Amino acid sequence: MPVLVMKFGGTSVATLDRIRRAAKRVGVEVAKGYDVIVIVSAMSGETNKLVGFVEETSPLFDAREYDAVVSSGENVTAGLMALTLQEMDVPARSWQGWQVPVMTTSAHSQARIEEIPTANITRKFAEGMKVAVVAGFQGISPEGRITTLGRGGSDTTAVAFAAAFGAERCDIYTDVDGVYTTDPRICEKARKLDRIAFEEMLELASLGAKVLQTRSVELAMRYKVKLRVLSSFEEMDDAAGTLVCDEEDIMESNVVAGVAHSRDEAKMTLVSVADRPGIAAAIFTPLAEAGVNVDMIVQNISEEGRTDMTFSCPTNQVARAEKVMEEAKAKGEINFHSIVADKNVCKISVVGIGMRSHAGVAAKMFRVLANEGINIQVITTSEIKISVLVERKYMELAVQALHDAFELDKG
């Protein structure tokens, strides 16, 4: 039997009614002849409640205990989903991460899946079971402790199962009906994409389009797992949602696939850094070691042996970044005049694999923003993406103008 993986996020299993609704969708796929692996998240709100318990109990918590506590929400949903399917006469059983076992690294709270042995579940399928319901987001370390994969980890669980079982497709059911050219809440012309390439999705995911977790897209790309994003709140339709697939499976596409934005970005400037060979390493190595996720980096032209170094990082890491820089200065590893942190910025990006073969996308982007009177503070580019930092108040205007200019409302 072909295997299908179906993943239901927290809002799709938030109540017993929604679990029933999700189970009906599973039943439809079983009726088509699939052996189905269902990956479930915790009922929405549950994980936050548990995280709240842990943080209140122990601000600097032992991540192993954090994982033991926080993973329990998925176990509840897995059992309830199996029971719901059984009520519909669909042979099903639940698996917790350690039962499969989903073998991960020991990096608690952000473990990576290393292996998913398929023997147990495959044997159950051979015995007539139609659905394996697996608690997402969790696994077991080499030491036998429970691990979790980090926020959004259930997407990664789903893709890893799809890869391990050679699934025909991995359907991610969520509360949006697909991937859009931009955020429909800030641009009403936003259009749902039928297909998007892995590389584009990867850029959009890491840019803050919260549809799929970045790691799950990376994994899908590496193992060529066809990913479909679709809403669990709309009527079923085989053509529904957005298929995330190989570039070759997309016949024609716009040069630009989408416009992304992120408010969660701060600009940090080290003013008047003593410039010398190795200064970039001296700045960014301690930041990386402290877990600061540096995104964009710009170094100004050096004058008289001193330069300004600007970088961006998530807003909630600003304090940590400042502390690390002051410590490095105190140790004499770097030398600068002052640090300026600016949280009043946002990042706007245009993404598209078509950029590889089309010149002038960056120029057009800059022109559009200039026409709107929007000043660009920082620029970075990759092969299929151009990102700029602009003042936060221009976010909606920038997104709408770019969406229009690249004609993203036209399919």
Residues interacting with a copy of itself, by CB under 8 A? 16, 19, 50, 53-54, 56-58, 61-62, 64-66, 68-69, 71-73, 75-76, 78-80, 82-84, 86-87, 93-94, 96, 98-99, 144-146
Strand 195-197 relative to strand 242-245, pairing: parallel
Question: Could you tell me the smallest distance in angstroms from the CB atom of residue 137 to a copy of itself?
Answer: 14
118 annotated to a ligand binding site: no
Sheet arrangement for strand 297-299: 297-299, 306-313, 266-274, 338-342
Q: Which is nearer to a copy of itself, 13 or 361 (CB)?
A: 13
285 annotated to a ligand binding site: no
CA distance 345 to 316: 14
Distance of CA 180 to the CA centre of its chain: 15
Question: Could you tell me the smallest distance in angstroms from the CB atom of residue 234 to a copy of itself?
Answer: 24
Sign of CA dihedral 221, 223, 224, 227: negative
Question: Could you tell me the smallest distance in angstroms from the CB atom of residue 109 to a copy of itself?
Answer: 13
7 annotated to a ligand binding site: yes
Q: Which is nearer to a copy of itself, 23 or 353 (CB)?
A: 23
258 annotated to a ligand binding site: no
Q: Which is nearer to a copy of itself, 86 or 253 (CB)?
A: 86
174 annotated to a ligand binding site: yes
Question: Could you tell me the smallest distance in angstroms from the CB atom of residue 30 to a copy of itself?
Answer: 17
Q: Which is nearer to a copy of itself, 141 or 206 (CB)?
A: 141
How many Cα atoms are found within 13 Å in the side-chain-facing hemisphere of 406? 33
What are the strands, taking DSSP E only, across 198-344? 227-231, 242-245, 258-262, 266-274, 297-299, 306-313, 338-342
406 annotated to a ligand binding site: no
Sign of CA dihedral 199, 200, 205, 211: negative
Question: Which residue bears the tokens 């299929």?
Answer: 384
Q: CB–CB of 135/46 below 8 Å?
A: no
284 annotated to a ligand binding site: no
Q: Which is nearer to a copy of itself, 133 or 279 (CB)?
A: 133
Sign of CA dihedral 278, 281, 282, 284: positive
Helix (H) or strand (E) holding 410: none
74 annotated to a ligand binding site: yes
Question: Could you tell me the smallest distance in angstroms from the CB atom of residue 40 to a copy of itself?
Answer: 12
Q: Which is nearer to a copy of itself, 66 or 394 (CB)?
A: 66
Question: Could you tell me the smallest distance in angstroms from the CB atom of residue 95 to a copy of itself?
Answer: 9
Helix (H) or strand (E) holding 277: none
Question: Could you tell me the smallest distance in angstroms from the CB atom of residue 99 to a copy of itself?
Answer: 6
211 annotated to a ligand binding site: yes
Q: CB–CB of 207/262 below 8 Å?
A: yes
Sign of CA dihedral 321, 323, 328, 332: positive
Q: Which is nearer to a copy of itself, 150 or 208 (CB)?
A: 150
Measure CA of the first residue to CA of the last residue in the chain; give whole Å. Answer: 36
Strand 113-115 relative to strand 103-104, pairing: antiparallel
Question: Which residue numbers belong to the known binding site?
Answer: 7-10, 47, 74, 174-175, 180, 185, 210-211
Question: Which residue numbers belong to the known binding site for ATP?
Answer: 7-10, 174-175, 180, 185, 210-211
Question: Which residue numbers belong to the known binding site for substrate?
Answer: 47, 74
